[in-house]
A = this chain, B = another copy of it.
């Protein structure tokens, strides 16, 4: 059978290895596996959310409210926007997919930083679009505008804080990029880790409302990180109503499960849990910074719930990741991003203890 040409160049996303796989492959008991690879919330699921899930467990046979009335209401209050400004995706990933499908074709290009969230490229390639990257992994306005003027991309992705590097772009710098881009190019501001950046330094805080005045900008957020719902697949896009209306045409019905919807509604109200997550994170990340300095390598100053360790030539990120994996410690090797680096989710105190112990032994 002849498939669409675009399939020829598609790479599939490499997901963080699940605990189950390490258990199967290396015979390590599940309790001893420490997974710091997927930026899941180390505190776990909010107790209030877990309770809502348990209460709704016997509604698994019922389709969700496809209008997502209640979740939109909670989000519109939270962000001071209207229902019509919101589209909900199965993770903010799915909103990226809607965007790609609504705007791209093989005559278009997209612009992103040198190292950023892998799904931008994957969804763009699915539409046959060309990928243009700036020289730096940081989002530098000058680099973005040079490339924008040269390639006139259909979409510009600004991932702030950036994944998998952890750096953030100041609000002023982001607005400088947006202001210089004309209305036929969409600017995606992906704030999947924004809660961590905003808590660290308000200069990096960007809200959906800050961007709602631009007809060609969409803000993306997710429940997967600070809200602790990685497994439930709920994210959102916030933009002017006309843009949301077009993206809706690519949304499949019932794209959020009944339990995910209930969980997200509860999570959106549960500010205490988010605060606790951030507090634990801010306390524990210092240990990672100290550990790097004491062991002769550097790191990227992080505005996210993970840290990126940059290794000198004497250390190899692939070897280190593999050795840790065999010990039941799962981190993310960034070799496939062209970096001799690893990305580590900041865990609980206990998880971090185990990580430091094994890591020290592995590099000894």
Task: Say whether B61 contacts A228, CB under 8 Å.
Answer: yes
A164 at the interface (CB under 8 A from B): no
Task: Say whether A18 contacts B103, CB under 8 Å.
Answer: no
From B2, B13, B21, B64, A69 is in contact (CB under 8 Å) with: B21
Q: How many copies does the complex hold?
A: 2
Task: Say whether A63 contacts B1, CB under 8 Å.
Answer: no
Task: Say whether B231 contacts A65, CB under 8 Å.
Answer: no
Q: Whole-angstrom distance between the alpha carbons of A183 and B2 in the complex?
A: 9
Task: Say whether B62 contacts A40, CB under 8 Å.
Answer: yes
- Which of A4-12, A189-197, A294-302 is near enough to bind chain B? A4-12
Task: Say whether A13 contacts B253, CB under 8 Å.
Answer: yes
- Which of A130-138, A141-149, A256-264, A354-362 is near enough to bind chain B? A256-264
A102 at the interface (CB under 8 A from B): yes
A121 at the interface (CB under 8 A from B): no
Q: Whole-angstrom distance between the alpha carbons of A38 and B103 in the complex?
A: 32
Task: Say whether B252 contacts A63, CB under 8 Å.
Answer: no
Q: Determine the chain B residues whose CB is within 8 A of the CB of A215 once the complex forms.
A: 1
Q: Say yes or no: A257-B260 contact (C-beta < 8 A), given A4-B105, A49-B60.
A: yes
Task: Say whether A12 contacts B54, CB under 8 Å.
Answer: no
Residue of B nearest to A267 (CB): B60
Q: Whole-angstrom distance between the alpha carbons of A4 and B101 in the complex?
A: 8
Name A97-111 residues within 8 Å CB distance of B: 97, 101-105
Q: Whole-angstrom distance between the alpha carbons of A65 and B37 in the complex?
A: 13
Residue of B nearest to A59 (CB): B231
Query: For A19, A60, A66, A185, which residue has the most chain B Cβ atoms within 10 angstroms?
Result: A60
Q: Say yes or no: A93-B253 contact (C-beta < 8 A), given A59-B231, A61-B40, A61-B41.
A: yes
Name A222-275 residues within 8 Å CB distance of B: 228-233, 243, 246, 248-255, 257-260, 263
Which residues of A approach B to under 8 Å, CB–CB?
A: 1-4, 7, 10, 12-13, 15-16, 18-21, 24, 38, 40-41, 43-45, 49-51, 53-54, 57-67, 69-70, 90-91, 93-94, 97, 101-105, 119, 126, 183-186, 215-216, 228-233, 243, 246, 248-255, 257-260, 263
New contact pairs (11) apart from A10-B249, A61-B230, CB-CB < 8 Å: A1-B184, A15-B66, A20-B65, A20-B69, A45-B59, A54-B57, A61-B229, A126-B249, A233-B254, A257-B257, A257-B259
Top 8 closest pairs, chain A to chain B, by CB: A231-B258, A53-B57, A15-B66, A18-B65, A61-B228, A45-B60, A50-B57, A10-B249
Q: List 9 A-B contacts (CB under 8 A).
A: A4-B104, A7-B250, A13-B253, A15-B253, A45-B57, A53-B53, A60-B230, A61-B228, A90-B90
